[in-house]
Structure 1
Amino acid sequence: MPLPTTLRTLANSLLGSLLPPVCQICADPGERGHELCGACSLTLPWHSDGCARCALPLHEDADELCFHCEESAPPLDACWASLRYEDPISGLLIRYKFHSDLAAGRLMAQLMALNPPPWPLAPLVAVPLHPRRLRQRGYDQAAELARLIGAPRWKGLRRIRATAPQSERNADARRHNLDGAFAVVGEVPEAVVLVDDVMTTGSTLHACAETLRKAGCKEVNAWVCARVP
């Protein structure tokens, strides 16, 4: 009989702590105590030339903002993606998010720490899962990334409405799907940094930012592991 999600997650975590590091991409021995080999480290799609407000890759003639953010500023003051959502990162994130592969998540957090935002880190706020989804999955992928990064965190953002998965919806449907999905509990900090695994259209991060601003937050930045081009 298959292990329940929570027990499978715990078993994977314990095995990862007992075995020597193995590259999470090709399964060769890891280097310098990391779960990544030297050859695979050269294939990582680092991201450093994105729009300052949405992290989309910029055209050569653009300065700091993409055309869309110049025309209509999003609710985020700044947005940073450590990597692009391309192979091999896309495969690692799918394993982490949908297949209980916490070792892949550990590597993602390490890579985020190697390419952090150029601005100071305010308290990290993980984009939350609804309690129902958390029970199904057994862990919150964004909260785990924030925890592994190790910076101070604020846990007052809640997802109060269960929403349909975003992955198969267009941008407009994604926005409406998140209406009233988030709420704030307690006193919100003046500045926060939202943390998530993947940014596609930005709808989820924008909904979180709008909720935080309504609660009195003055500055909302976002830091994601990977940006979909």
Structure 2
Amino acid sequence: MSITMRCYFDCQTWDVHTMMKWTMVMNQWLKRGLPGYCAFCLCSRATESGWCEECYAQLPWNRVSCEQCAEPLLGAGESRCGHCLVEPPSFTITTAALCYQEVVSQLVHDFKFQASPRAGQLLVNLMLSQPPPALGNALLPVPMFPARAKERGFNQAHWLAKRLGKNTGMPVLRARCIKQVPSQRSLNRKERRRNVSDAFRMEGGIPEHVTIVDDVVTTGATGHALAAAALAQGAKRVDVWAAARTPFQKS
């Protein structure tokens, strides 16, 4: 066979393989966006919530955690982590049923940075499957600085809070972020607290018991700052409700 003929057949084979590969990718992508398929394993045994029972059971659940900030604990007999014992945050309890790991981190990424409505609704459904013991009187989404919200296109915490409020019958409050906070990804716990100190202001009146809504709790610094603003405005108790918790943050 000549070199020209061999190259021709190689190209034809490559085209077929490429088409098969992209067909599989597109099928998976379509299944992830359609109801009836599990968002995690893509089987057709999904419940109305968007997952199959097997995948739901195998999610990275945050089963043993600090009752105040939801940081995973090593000791089953503990109720609060060392950070909350030494320097308690302004909020009372945190509900974050999942750890920010594995498929959960990918789900949050798809929602937060790709604005996937299916990923967002799955997070709402997961939060509703393991709700806080007491919701209080209103939900308070973590606000974003206007320039950052414009850049991203939406506020993920407000998106979650609106849908959680619709499902629970809870009103949704508003707060303002008045400080352009630099990225906190590389900061430790103390630096994060300083970074968001005095960053929030409440709008209008506030009930006695408020539940802050966010997608992920990392150290609790943002929740602490927003809870402090709510308490200063007249709230008596503030809790936090998030989809996931990032485990074991450095001090």
Q: Same fold by TM-score, threshold 0.5 exceeded? A: yes
Return the letter of the residue paired with 1:127: V
Aligned position for 1:189: 207
RMSD: 2.1
Alignment partner for residue 54 of structure 1, among 69, 78, 91?
Answer: 69
Matched, 1:66 2:66: no
Aligned position for 2:182: 164
In structure 2, the CA distance between the partners of 1:19 and 1:48, relative to structure 1 (3 Å rule), is closer
In structure 2, the CA distance between the partners of 1:204 and 1:111, relative to structure 1 (3 Å rule), is same
Alignment partner for residue 173 of structure 1, among 191, 203, 212?
Answer: 191
Deviates more, 1:112-121 or 1:88-97: 112-121
Aligned position for 1:81: 96
Aligned position for 1:227: 245
Aligned position for 2:173: 155
Matched, 1:146 2:161: yes
The CA deviation at 1:200 is 0.7
Does the Cα contact within 8 Å between 2:139 and 2:171 map onto a contact in 1? yes
Alignment partner for residue 51 of structure 2, among 30, 36, 55?
Answer: 36
Counterparts of 1:38 and 1:48, CA distance in 2: 18
Matched, 1:20 2:35: yes
Instruction: Identify the structure with the greater helix proportion.
Output: 2
In structure 2, the CA distance between the partners of 1:122 and 1:47, relative to structure 1 (3 Å rule), is farther
The TM-score with structure 1 as length reference comes to 0.85
In structure 2, the CA distance between the partners of 1:42 and 1:52, relative to structure 1 (3 Å rule), is closer
Counterparts of 2:45 and 2:113, CA distance in 1: 24
Does the Cα contact within 8 Å between 2:141 and 2:173 map onto a contact in 1? yes
Gaps of 5+ in 2: 1-29
The CA deviation at 1:41 is 2.1
Return the letter of the residue paired with 1:34: S
Aligned position for 2:105: 90
Aligned position for 1:203: 221
Counterparts of 1:133 and 1:22, CA distance in 2: 34
Counterparts of 1:61 and 1:44, CA distance in 2: 20
Gaps of 5+ in 1: 1-14
SS at match of 1:88: helix
Counterparts of 1:71 and 1:172, CA distance in 2: 13
Counterparts of 2:233 and 2:209, CA distance in 1: 12
Counterparts of 2:173 and 2:137, CA distance in 1: 13
What are the superposed Cα offsets for residues 117-140 of structure 1, whole Å, 9 maximum, x if unpaired? 123443111111122222222221
Counterparts of 2:34 and 2:242, CA distance in 1: 29
SS at match of 2:102: coil
Does the Cα contact within 8 Å between 1:51 and 1:66 map onto a contact in 2? yes
Deviates more, 1:155-164 or 1:54-63: 54-63
Counterparts of 2:113 and 2:82, CA distance in 1: 33
The CA deviation at 1:20 is 3.5
Does the Cα contact within 8 Å between 2:92 and 2:239 map onto a contact in 1? yes
The CA deviation at 1:176 is 2.0
SS at match of 1:174: helix
- Which protein is bigger by CA-based radius of gyration? 2
Matched, 1:127 2:127: no
The CA deviation at 1:88 is 1.1
SS at match of 2:58: coil
Counterparts of 2:186 and 2:36, CA distance in 1: 35
Counterparts of 2:47 and 2:106, CA distance in 1: 23
The TM-score with structure 2 as length reference comes to 0.78
